[in-house]
Chain A
Amino acid sequence: MNWLVEFPELGRGDLRDLRKGIDEGFKNFTRTYGESIEGFFDPLLQFLIGLEKLLLAMPWPVFIALVCVLGWLASRSVKIVIGTAISFFLIGFLGMWEDTMSTVSIIMVSTMVCIGLGLPIGILMSRSDRAQAVVTPILDVMQTIPSFVYLIPVVMMLGIGKVPGLISVVIYALPPMIRLTNLGIRLVDKEVLEAADAFGASAWQKLWQVQVPLALPNIFAGVNQTIMMSLAMVVIASMIGVTGLGQPVLKAISNQYLAMGLLNGLAIVALAIIFDRISQSYGKRLQSYRGGHNE
């Protein structure tokens, strides 16, 4: 009856060999393809570096003015614009301008990558139940696996730096973009789709004239979630060499610098609130047509 009490586990040696085998295999893979993979991501790296340099070179009043104009165009809310200006001014005043610019640039790039990947994958998922059945469990894994775990292979393959940081941010922030695009398109009114069919719309016309426009509020909620999750990932990504507000936080943790940690943490919160409010009110304005009588 021993087998009932003791779990029939793999022998110690076998287990070690298994792990070793996987590690060796991956190391060999990295040695063979590491460089070409790095080369593949090089344009992204150059873009990220360029953007960061641009933001840092930009005089601070210009940057604040630019963000305020964008904020106004997107939200049409004076409150949000004033809040944005004050937050950025305080961030700069408290000596966190450069780190903030680095963070903003990586958030921008990761959001662009997430939209670029998430939109087509989401559309594909919405059009085929089979694609949905394949992608959904992958998204579940991406969202639940502890982020430290996928840092390991990323670092093994690409070392420490901006690109592996960006990749880990994207892995973490991509799922809501895909999910909400898929959901938004699937929720489009069947009767409107029938009308599009009745007027002889092709699949392509239906997608761009009906499905995507009507799914936009949901797609935009996905963009908002993606930005929020990228910001949340900034501190963890700083462990593998991403510059920005995450690094001082990390330093503060290991040295117990309370004020430093708090200030940089609050700067991240401020960025999150600004991005969230602007993108949410833009998302709401996208739906203004749903309102009733307002002549």
Chain B
Amino acid sequence: MSDFETKIEIRHLYKIFGETPGLMMEKVREGISKDQLNDEFNHVLGLHDINMKIPEKGIQVVMGLSGSGKSTLIRHINRLIEPTAGEILVDGENVMDMGPDALKNFRRNRASMVFQKFALLPHRTVLENTQYGLEIQGISEKDSNKRARHWIERVGLSGYEENYPAQLSGGMQQRVGLARALATDADILLMDEAFSALDPLIRTDMQNILLDLQQELHKTIVFITHDLEEALRIGDQIAILRDGKVVQQGTPERIVLKPKDDYIADFTKDINRGRVIKLKTIMSTPNDQAGPELSGDMLVEDAAQLVTESPSSQARVVDADGAVVGCVTIQDLIRAMARPDIESRLEEL
């Protein structure tokens, strides 16, 4: 998928932690390894030549295990962390060139953030927390009150306006965090492991809320997670980060079907592929067999049920305009869902 407008472009971004990152930068450019930098010079290479194009109105997931640099990366987008080298272009404007006032305005109006540990103001009610960004923007109490109530309702917290964060469960607190971020009307939403601290059921709930809202709001979302299931579920684009480097970027399907190396293959092998792969990816050329007409964007898992019930055991795949573009048989679907390593497992038996 390269047919998108780029909203945020990250170019050659480096971050080195330590006493003299500027000096170390030379050595990194000369090709010193992360371990060598750590052992010999006592500096940590946090991010190593990150290049990324983040689609406008899409959800870009950055996935990686702890220590991979993903939280460091997202904090560069609104410059909570200063880079050692590189640039970040938002709508073509380099965030790194912004002066203090421009940066403040950027954070107030163009990029808002949701945090892993919620980071709500404990001395303020749900309503006052949601108003926080608006208050900083200097919006009148009357307006901000109205807008905050609207967003509280949208995240399903009506009736809790006067409660304090400590009186709410984790899931509810993060809804406040989401409402606070949405209330500023920024078109970029940065979500740093926003759902990682929540129970699995609540996490799925929150993912649904986010996806529902996104259907209508079309924000540019950068979503950090360590959970591949979550990444595949909500990402339009996924970048996998390891040791401060991007290992692979692409659509969820691409990551699952064509893992770039063993590291990623290892990650993806336990994934339910039926929930990631779309019909248009596996369809073959159309034939004249009858069958239900299914959208090319339908997931394999959803199609399986319908195709099983069809007498011909196959379905016709149609595009957005309703024209038939291909067909899938029940065998295609089963093959798509099967784990790629099944043969090696049979040998083990």
Chain A positions within 8 Å of B, measured between CB atoms, are 189, 191-192, 194-195, 197-202, 205, 209-210, 213-214, 216, 289-295
Nearest A residue to B164, CB-CB: A289
In the assembled complex, the CB of A284 is this many whole angstroms from the nearest CB of chain B, namely 14
8 A–B pairs (Cβ distance < 8 Å), ordered by A: A191-B117, A192-B121, A199-B112, A199-B113, A199-B133, A200-B108, A214-B123, A289-B166
Nearest B residue to A217, CB-CB: B123
Give the A-B contact count at a CB cut-off of 8 A.
73
Given A200-B106, A292-B167, are A210 and B121 neighbors across the interface (CB < 8 Å)? Answer: yes
A290's contact among B115, B117, B122, B190, by CB below 8 Å, is which?
A: B122
Contact A199 B123, beta carbon cutoff 8 Å: no
Chain B positions within 8 Å of A, measured between CB atoms, are 78, 80, 103-109, 112-113, 115, 117, 119-123, 132-133, 135-137, 163-164, 166-167, 180, 184, 190
A292's contact among B78, B123, B166, by CB below 8 Å, is which?
A: B166
Find chain A residues with CB under 8 A from B103 CB: 200
Find chain B residues with CB under 8 A from A214 CB: 121-123
Contact A198 B80, beta carbon cutoff 8 Å: yes
Contact A195 B167, beta carbon cutoff 8 Å: no
In the assembled complex, the CB of A198 is this many whole angstroms from the nearest CB of chain B, namely 4
In the assembled complex, the CB of B115 is this many whole angstroms from the nearest CB of chain A, namely 6
Contact A198 B166, beta carbon cutoff 8 Å: no
Contact B107 A198, beta carbon cutoff 8 Å: yes
Contact A198 B135, beta carbon cutoff 8 Å: no
In the assembled complex, the CB of A192 is this many whole angstroms from the nearest CB of chain B, namely 5
Contact A191 B119, beta carbon cutoff 8 Å: yes
Contact A194 B80, beta carbon cutoff 8 Å: yes
Given A289-B164, A294-B167, A295-B167, are A198 and B122 neighbors across the interface (CB < 8 Å)? Answer: no
Bound CA span A290–B80, Å: 28
Bound CA span A217–B132, Å: 22
Contact B104 A202, beta carbon cutoff 8 Å: yes
Find chain B residues with CB under 8 A from A200 CB: 103-109, 133, 136-137
Contact A289 B123, beta carbon cutoff 8 Å: yes
Bound CA span A210–B124, Å: 10
Contact B115 A191, beta carbon cutoff 8 Å: yes
Bound CA span A201–B138, Å: 11
Bound CA span A198–B132, Å: 11
Contact B119 A199, beta carbon cutoff 8 Å: no
Bound CA span A293–B163, Å: 9
Contact A194 B123, beta carbon cutoff 8 Å: no
Nearest A residue to B137, CB-CB: A200
Contact B135 A209, beta carbon cutoff 8 Å: yes
